[in-house]
Structure 1
Amino acid sequence: MQDGSGGLSAYELERLENIRQNQAFLSSMKIFQAAEDLKQSKPSQRGLPRSKAAVSEVLPSRRSLRLQHKIPETSSLPPEPRGVLTYDYSQPCKKPSGPLPMEPANMEEGSKLPPELLNLCSEVSVKEEKVELNLKEYRSALKNMRITEGRVAKVVKHRIFSAAFHPCTSSLLMATGDKWGHVGLWNIGGGWGDDGVLLFEPHSRPVGCMAFSRTNPAHLLSLSYDGSLRCMDIEKACFDDVYVSENDLKSFDFLTPDCATLVIGDWCGQVAIVDRRTPGNSYESLHTMDTKTIRCVNVHPLHRQYFAVAENRVVGIYDSRCLKKTKSQAVSQLLGHSLSISSAYFSPSTGNRVLTSCMDNTIRIYDSSALTTKVPLLTSIRHDMHTGRWLSKLSAVWDPKREDCFVVGSMARPRRVDVFHESGQLQHSFGNQDHLSTVLSVTAFHPTRNALLGGNNSGRLHVFAE
């Protein structure tokens, strides 16, 4: 029976009311908005093209012999295999030692490097008077940094392990290394390669650390877990051997201001001192530290004989003049970490602070202005550092333009990158609904410009800049 409400029955009116209430509930939970966000956040198509999935062979469907009314050919099991079983992990072979030509893998065979690249890498930066911003001005500068569609690109094929800005100022040129030994160069707005991306293959395993030489910016040094450290020399168009080890290498830093001498840490707890001017690809001296593995080495910016080593649960500061072959004694120690330490970095100008990242979900800042036996702790900041096995570990790194602020990726949603003051105060969070939808594990500030990069698990770089 129908009432006077538009000819609808009581049942139909009740059903419409239920629909209205359900939609109001979903709107209050922002379900529709979340669905729209998922539709909008598509990965950037700039940079390297996506690899096409291999077309699987179509095989005939399997049917049991019983259903086919057939008798099995044999009823006995095959014999058990004898001897030692070997497994093929399908990992790339180690690259041969010696210089490797810089042949872009994403260009036609025989293609030469674009001459604009050498001009850009050889650019002499004009030294301007350094203007020290207060925190309010610094926060304002961070807020003016934006990400756009043109500032996101796939630069390497696989998960990013390391990245660095080139010091040139006329353009934003970046380098990054991935899980399987690729090194990519990306010039935003560049006219070469794939949207300004050039891809190289100098290593065969993760490129865990890289840095441009401060004295010759046409040199990019890259270190890999495959036991090799190479120098990309753009003038010679080759990757030169610097150091080769039987152990997996983890981290390096320049021990001298001319960037000729390096300190290199490996996964077996050894530190090698390497002089690039010495012929060959071996070390000057090798020192076994009192630890199982070394995750990071970093040199003091002023007193360059000192370098910090992130060991298992302790950061030790060592004097390179007093190293022994085994169990060298640390000048100072940074204590208080309850789990493994991912990284430890001196503050960029004075070295009066040491910034550490630890898997106990804590970022710590220590006062290293006086290298006493035990360096005092200044600040502890709670931060989720558990990325899981499929993402690169988070590491807090200093802004090279300041002594008191640093950047670190975040596991929080919506995805973002956080900048903190050494006091623990959050200065700014970089995020964007349209162009940032993944965790940026690897982060770095430009040495002079207001620009920040972040690398993710799919080989993409995201850049925030003015």
Structure 2
Amino acid sequence: MPKLSAYEKEREANIARNRALLEQLELKQAVESLGFPAKQAPPKTKAKPVQSTKKAKEKQEEAPRRQSARLRNTAAFDPNESPSKKRKREAEEQERFAKEAEERIEAQEREFLAKRPRHNDLDLVELTDEGVEVAQLSTELQAITQTAHPKRLGDADAFVYEEDEKDKAEVEQLRQKLQGMKVVARAKVTENRVYSAAYHPDPTKDLIFFGDKHGQLGIWDARAPPDEDGNENESDPDTKENGKYWRLQVHWPATSKSSISSVKLDPIDSHTVYTSAYDCSIRALSFTTGISREIFTNDDTLISSIDVVPNGREMWISDAAGGVTHLDLREDKSKGKWYQLSEQKIGCVSVNPTRTNFLLTASNSREMRIWDTRKLESMVLDLSLEESATEFDSEVVTKYRESKEGAGFLRSEWRHDKSVSSAYWDPRGRSIVSTSYDDSIRLWDVHTSAFKSSKAFPSSRPFARVSHNCQTGRWLTVLRAQWNPNPDVYPHFTIANMNHSLDIISCKGERIARLSDPSKITAVQAVTCSHPSIVERAATGNASGRCVLWAPADE
């Protein structure tokens, strides 16, 4: 053994001394004797998101790896096989290779077709995942059809007062009802970000339809008793889901190319739900038959918004090319007429409910406009166009608008500081609310006499402008102010607040209530809607597909 130097001896001694010292020390007792406080566990999160009770899809089995013929037949290869056996083996291998190639081609074709939009009629079985109880959903939809719930329209002169005190009294009465609303139900209704919503008018239940980013329509019966299926989260009230919900893949493919931009119910009986999506199609799901059929398609233009005329026979469609399409639902979808009313995307279209010939559009060109659609009917004759024409570009529309015959076609317009994300008529067909990326909510009140004249409205200036943060960014759905469709109450609308609350504002621009619950909500409730019959009801949805029902806590 080589002799150690003085340095190495000292080093070995230090190591031995330190090892002995560490073995003798009792660190835990020493810390306690010095009186240091024990390390505390991190505080629990204030709000726990509800966890979906739906079972996750099972992972698909991986396809077997491809191997060369030499590796596959190494074990069975016989170097002494006869020529006849060799020829037979090679023939079998060629047949197997041909069959495998054919299967690969068929799989590629199926994969290609799976990424294309579906234009055929689809039943509930085709719309739902395997394992979903279709019979229960069918029974639920059939129960709705037992009673018709037509869309109720307001009176244009209702809630119009000369004295401000009466307006204040109406607002105060409404505030007493709405400010007591709480979070009474939560559920992860859709798998992805909520883009649109509609509240069914049935007064006996809270049935809400949510459209998500990947073409999925979530149907939520928020107050229904949950199924007794041994829910894992049932013991934890913070993560428990409420009610029952079903997910229907009405638009395809299940990607962001199929985001549902609008959800509308049939205004005649509410037995059909219409959905428009970025896959350039509009589908109608009938509760009576359980069949989803395509009623309109556009090959290459993204559909941004739809609205159904109260007579239930007509629909107006806005798109990313700056156009609107008038569709008669009684005719073939190919007969829809397209008019380019803007050079940029029209993100929102709204039909006046009491004077259906007045159409409201909001576009990325920063303009909100009101059009008299009666002029469109005579445009073909006035410009001597072909009667069979179905598309009219901006050049044709502008030429007609500036002509003598087209006077009164554009009734009013107002330019915002930035893009107009939405603009809607209220149930009376009198007030207008718009939202814009300039962080403002604007309100208009159109006098009844202005509709009776054939000239442009005397004033287009909004009477109120409310500051509101509308900078949703890339990961949140655009904020839209949605009127409460109930015509029996003082006009008011709901809009999400970036501070995770729900704002309720009157038609005069006065805030009625701000609903929030930090213990249950920690995300922006970007999409909102209200019950058409019950005042104290509102529903919201966020970017993860989780939805909330707001109602009085004691009901």
Cα distance change, pair 226–196 in 1 and its aligned pair in 2 (3 A): same
Q: C-alpha separation between the residues in 2 aligned to 1:47 and 1:296?
A: 35
Match of 1:118 among 142, 157, 176: 142
Q: Aligned-pair distance for 1:39?
A: 1.6
Question: Which position in structure 2 is the counterpart of 1:138?
Answer: 174
- Match for residue 218 of structure 2? 184
* 2:150–2:270 Cα contact (<8 Å) kept: no
Residue 221 of structure 1 deviates from its aligned partner by: 0.5
Q: Secondary structure at the match of 2:264?
A: strand
Q: Which residue of 2 aligns with 1:392?
A: 477
1:228 shift after superposition: 0.7
Q: Give 1:423 deviation, angstroms.
A: 3.3
- What is the CA–CA distance in structure 2 between the aligned matches of 1:55 and 1:111, rounded to whole Å? 26
The structure that has the greater radius of gyration is 2
Structure number with the higher helix fraction is 2
| 2-structure distance, mates of 1:178, 1:366 | 31
Aligned to 1:24: none
Tell me what 1:411 maps to: 498
CA-to-aligned-CA distance 1:134-186 (integer Å, 9 cap, x gap): 212211111232213xx100111100000111110111001011111001101
Once the two structures are superposed, the pairs formed by residues 237-386 of structure 1 within 5 Å of their partners are 237-246=290-299, 247-255=301-309, 257-278=310-331, 280-312=332-364, 313-323=366-376, 324=379, 325-327=392-394, 328=397, 329=401, 330-349=409-428, 351-369=429-447, 370=450, 372=457, 374-386=459-471
- Distance change >3 Å, CA 137–CA 109, structure 1 → 2: closer
Give the 3 Å change call, closer, same or farther, for CA 170–107 of structure 1 in structure 2.
farther
Which residue, 92, 100, 122 being the options, matches 1:100?
Answer: 122
* Deviation, structure 1 residue 114: 3.5
Conservation of the 8 A alpha-carbon contact between 2:501 and 2:514? yes
Distance 1:340 1:54, change over 3 A: farther
Aligned to 2:250: 202
State the Cα distance separating 1:234 from its structure 2 match: 1.4
Task: Structure 1: give runs of 5+ residues left out of the alignment.
Answer: 1-11, 20-31, 57-89
Aligned mates of 1:306, 1:95 — CA distance in 2: 33
Give yes or no for contact 1:398–1:405 (8 Å, CA) kept in 2: yes
What does residue 232 of structure 1 align with?
285
User: In structure 2, what residue type is equivalent to 1:100?
Assistant: L
In the TM superposition, what is the alpha-carbon distance from 1:374 to its structure 2 partner?
4.7
Q: Deviations over 1:348-383 (max 9, x none)?
A: 12x221100000101100222235165221111111
**How far did residue 283 of structure 1 move?**
3.5
Q: 1:48 to 1:319 in 2, by over 3 A?
A: farther
Q: 1:430 to 1:110 in 2, by over 3 A?
A: closer
Question: Are the aligned partners of 2:319 and 2:347 in contact in 1 as well (CA < 8 Å)?
Answer: yes
Q: Please report how far the alpha carbon of residue 187 of structure 1 lies from its aligned counterpart in structure 2 after TM superposition.
A: 0.6
TM-score by length of 2: 0.66
Q: Which moved more, 1:402-411 or 1:212-221?
A: 402-411
Matched, 1:161 2:195: yes
Instruction: Note if contact 1:242-1:276 (Cα within 8 Å) is conserved in structure 2.
Output: yes
Pair 1:188–1:46, CA change in 2 (3 A): farther
Aligned pair in 2 of structure 1 residues 191, 42: CA closer, same or farther (>3 Å)?
same
For 1:31-180, list aligned pairs within 5 A.
36=43, 39-46=45-52, 48-49=54-55, 93-103=115-125, 105-106=128-129, 108=131, 111-112=134-135, 113-124=137-148, 134-148=170-184, 151-180=185-214
* Farther off after superposition, 291-300 or 112-121: 112-121
Percent sequence identity over aligned pairs: 23
Contact 1:121 / 1:166 at 8 angstroms: preserved in 2?
no
How far off its partner does 1:192 sit? 7.8
Measured after TM superposition, the shift of residue 403 of structure 1 is 4.9
Per the alignment, do residues 322 and 147 of structure 1 end up closer, same or farther by CA in structure 2, a change over 3 Å counting? same
**Distance (Å, rounded) in 2 between the aligned partners of 1:181 and 1:126:** 27
Whether the 8 Å contact between 2:281 and 2:297 is mirrored in structure 1 is yes
**RCO higher in 1 or 2 (8 Å CA, sep ≥ 6)?**
2
1:216 is matched with which residue: 269, 275, 299? Answer: 269
How far apart, in 1, do the equivalents of 2:324 and 2:506 lie? 32
